[in-house]
Structure 1
Amino acid sequence: MELDGYKVTDPFFGRPFIDADEQRGEGTPYRYIHGGFEGTDTRFTYCFPSTEHYRGRLFQPLEGANAGHENVNAGPLGPITGGLEMTFRLGGYCVESNMGHIGDVEDPKAGPDPTIYGFRAAAESARFSKYVARQIYGEAPHHAYVYGGSGGARRSPLCLAYGEGTWDAALPYMGDAMDGEHGDMRRLRTGTPNFSSMFNVQRVLGAKLLDVIDAMQPGGSGNPFAGLDTHQAEELATLYRLGYPRGDEFMIMQPMGQAWLWASMAERLEAEDPYFKSFWTEPGHVGHDQPDLVRKDIINLKTRIKRPLFARQLAEEAEFRAPEYARIVALASVFAGMENMWDVPMAVELEQDPGGYPQGAGIKFLSGKATGRQLYYMSGVRTVWLGAGAGEAQNLRFKGVQAGDEVQLDNRAFLAYCYYYRHHIMNHVEWDALRIGGKPIYKQYRQPEASPFMGVLHTGRFEGKMMWVHHTHDASLWPVQGVGMKNNVEREYGAVEARKKFRLRWTENAEHVPPHMAASAPGRANTTWLIDYQPVIEQCLLDLVDWVENDIEPIDSNFSLVDGQITLPPTARERGGIQPVVSVTADGGVRADVRVGESVALIVKAEVPEGTGKIIGVKWDFDGTGSYPREEVVDGTRTALMLSTSHSFDRPGTYFVTALVESHREGEVNAKFRRVSNVASARVVVS
Structure 2
Amino acid sequence: MGGALDLASYALTDSYFGAPYIDRDEHRSEPRSHRVVHGGFAGTDTRFNFYFQSEEGYRSRMFQPMEGGHAGHENIFGEGPVAKISGGLEMAFRLGGYMVESNCGHIGDDIDPRGGEDPTLYGFRAAIESARLSRHLAEQIYGAPPANGYVYGGSGGGRRSPGCLEYGAGVYTGALPYHSGGNIEPWGTTSRVRSEQPVHFGLMFNVQRLLGDRIGSVIDAMAPGGSGDPCAGLNVHQREELTNLYRLGFPRGDEFMISQPFGQIWLWTSIADMLLEDDADYFRAFWSEPGYLGHDEPQFVENDVIDVEATVARVLTARDLQENTEFADPALQALAYPSIFIAMLNQTMDLPMAIQLEGVGSGYRRGAGVYVQTGEAAGRRLYAMGESNDIFFLDGRGEANLLRATGVKAGDKVRVDNRPFLAFCYYYRHHISDDPICDFLRIDGKPIYPQHAVPLASPLMGVPYCGQYEGKLMWIHATHDSSLWPPQGLTYKRAVEQAQGLEGAQENFRIRWTENAEHTPPMMVPMQPNRSAANWLITFQGLVEQSLKDLIDWVEQGIDPASTQFTFSDGKINLPKSAGERGGIQPVIAVTANGAARIETAVGEKITLEVIAEVPPGAGTIIALEWDFDGKGTYPVKEEVTGTDARMRSMVTHAFDTAGTYFPTARVTSHRDGDCAAVTRRIENLAAARVIVS
Give the TM-score normalised by structure 1. 0.98
- Between the aligned partners of 1:75 and 1:309, the Cα distance in structure 2 is 27
CA RMSD, 1 decimal: 1.3
Identify which of 199, 205, 208 aligns with 1:202: 208
Partner of 2:34: 30
Deviations 1:601-657 (Å, cap 9, x if unpaired)? 001111111111110111111111111111111011000001100111111100010
Contact 1:327 1:379 in 2 (8 A): no
Identify which of 383, 387, 406 aligns with 1:380: 387
Partner of 1:57: 61
Identify which of 518, 521, 524 aligns with 1:517: 524
Identify which of 269, 278, 285 aligns with 1:272: 278
Q: Does 1:407 align with 2:411?
A: no
Could you say what secondary structure the match of 1:477 adopts?
Answer: coil
Q: Does 1:126 align with 2:126?
A: no
Counterpart of 2:164, as a letter, is C
Identify which of 299, 302, 307 aligns with 1:300: 307
Partner of 1:221: 227
- Between the aligned partners of 1:89 and 1:75, the Cα distance in structure 2 is 16
Counterpart of 1:138, as a letter, is G
Could you say what secondary structure the match of 2:35 adopts?
Answer: strand
Partner of 1:47: 51
Partner of 1:641: 648
Name which of structure 1's ranges 440-449 and 297-306 shifts more when overlaid on structure 2: 297-306
Could you say what secondary structure the match of 1:403 adopts?
Answer: coil
- Between the aligned partners of 1:398 and 1:78, the Cα distance in structure 2 is 28
Contact 1:177 1:482 in 2 (8 A): no
Q: CA deviation at 1:283?
A: 1.0
Name which of structure 1's ranges 448-457 and 116-125 shifts more when overlaid on structure 2: 448-457
Partner of 1:252: 258
Contact 2:336 2:393 in 1 (8 A): no
Deviations 1:147-201 (Å, cap 9, x if unpaired)? 1101011111111111132110110001114122222221223462111111111
Identity of aligned residues (%): 53
Unaligned runs of 5+ in 2: none
Identify which of 143, 147, 153 aligns with 1:142: 147
- Between the aligned partners of 2:99 and 2:251, the Cα distance in structure 1 is 34
Counterpart of 2:328, as a letter, is R
- Between the aligned partners of 2:438 and 2:319, the Cα distance in structure 1 is 42
Contact 2:50 2:134 in 1 (8 A): yes
Could you say what secondary structure the match of 1:46 adopts?
Answer: strand
Identify which of 648, 653, 664 aligns with 2:660: 653
Q: Does 1:156 align with 2:158?
A: no
Could you say what secondary structure the match of 2:507 adopts?
Answer: coil
- Between the aligned partners of 1:176 and 1:354, the Cα distance in structure 2 is 39
Unaligned runs of 5+ in 1: none
Deviations 1:348-370 (Å, cap 9, x if unpaired)? 22235643211211111112221
Q: CA deviation at 1:374?
A: 0.9
Q: CA deviation at 1:26?
A: 2.8
Contact 2:194 2:464 in 1 (8 A): no
- Between the aligned partners of 2:357 and 2:56, the Cα distance in structure 1 is 55
Deviations 1:345-398 (Å, cap 9, x if unpaired)? 222222356432112111111122211111111123231221111110001111
Partner of 2:292: 285
Partner of 2:580: 573
Counterpart of 1:330, as a letter, is Y
Name which of structure 1's ranges 159-168 and 399-408 shifts more when overlaid on structure 2: 399-408
Identify which of 338, 356, 373 aligns with 2:363: 356
Counterpart of 1:681, as a letter, is A
Counterpart of 1:590, as a letter, is A
Partner of 1:14: 18
Q: 1:354 to 1:535 in 2, by over 3 A?
A: farther
Counterpart of 2:299, as a letter, is D
Q: CA deviation at 1:255?
A: 4.6
Name which of structure 1's ranges 24-33 and 565-574 shifts more when overlaid on structure 2: 24-33
Counterpart of 1:28, as a letter, is R
Counterpart of 1:55, as a letter, is R
Counterpart of 2:85, as a letter, is I
Partner of 1:166: 171
Could you say what secondary structure the match of 1:346 adopts?
Answer: strand
> Where do 1:521-670 residues align within 5 Å?
521-670=528-677
- Between the aligned partners of 2:333 and 2:559, the Cα distance in structure 1 is 44
Q: CA deviation at 1:460?
A: 1.5
- Between the aligned partners of 1:430 and 1:449, the Cα distance in structure 2 is 19
Q: CA deviation at 1:674?
A: 1.0
Partner of 2:71: 67
Could you say what secondary structure the match of 2:334 adopts?
Answer: helix
Identify which of 82, 86, 101 aligns with 1:81: 86
Deviations 1:267-310 (Å, cap 9, x if unpaired)? 12112211001101111111111111001111222222222222
- Between the aligned partners of 2:260 and 2:549, the Cα distance in structure 1 is 33
Could you say what secondary structure the match of 2:270 adopts?
Answer: helix
Counterpart of 1:213, as a letter, is I
Counterpart of 2:222, as a letter, is M
Q: CA deviation at 1:341?
A: 2.4
Deviations 1:87-132 (Å, cap 9, x if unpaired)? 1111111101110111111112211111111100000000000111
Counterpart of 1:105, as a letter, is D
Contact 1:325 1:381 in 2 (8 A): yes
- Between the aligned partners of 1:447 and 1:26, the Cα distance in structure 2 is 47
Name which of structure 1's ranges 332-341 and 467-476 shifts more when overlaid on structure 2: 332-341
Name which of structure 1's ranges 489-498 and 552-561 shifts more when overlaid on structure 2: 489-498
- Between the aligned partners of 2:50 and 2:170, the Cα distance in structure 1 is 20
Partner of 2:102: 97
Deviations 1:379-429 (Å, cap 9, x if unpaired)? 232312211111100011112222222221111000000000000011101
Q: Does 1:395 align with 2:399?
A: no
Deviations 1:32-61 (Å, cap 9, x if unpaired)? 111000111110011111112221110000
Q: Does 1:488 align with 2:495?
A: yes
- Between the aligned partners of 1:653 and 1:2, the Cα distance in structure 2 is 68
Q: Does 1:429 align with 2:436?
A: yes
Partner of 1:347: 354
Counterpart of 2:521, as a letter, is P
Counterpart of 2:634, as a letter, is S
Counterpart of 2:646, as a letter, is T
Q: Number of paired residues? A: 687
Name which of structure 1's ranges 176-185 and 386-395 shifts more when overlaid on structure 2: 176-185
Counterpart of 1:11, as a letter, is S
- Between the aligned partners of 1:353 and 1:382, the Cα distance in structure 2 is 11
- Between the aligned partners of 1:404 and 1:216, the Cα distance in structure 2 is 47
Contact 1:355 1:382 in 2 (8 A): no
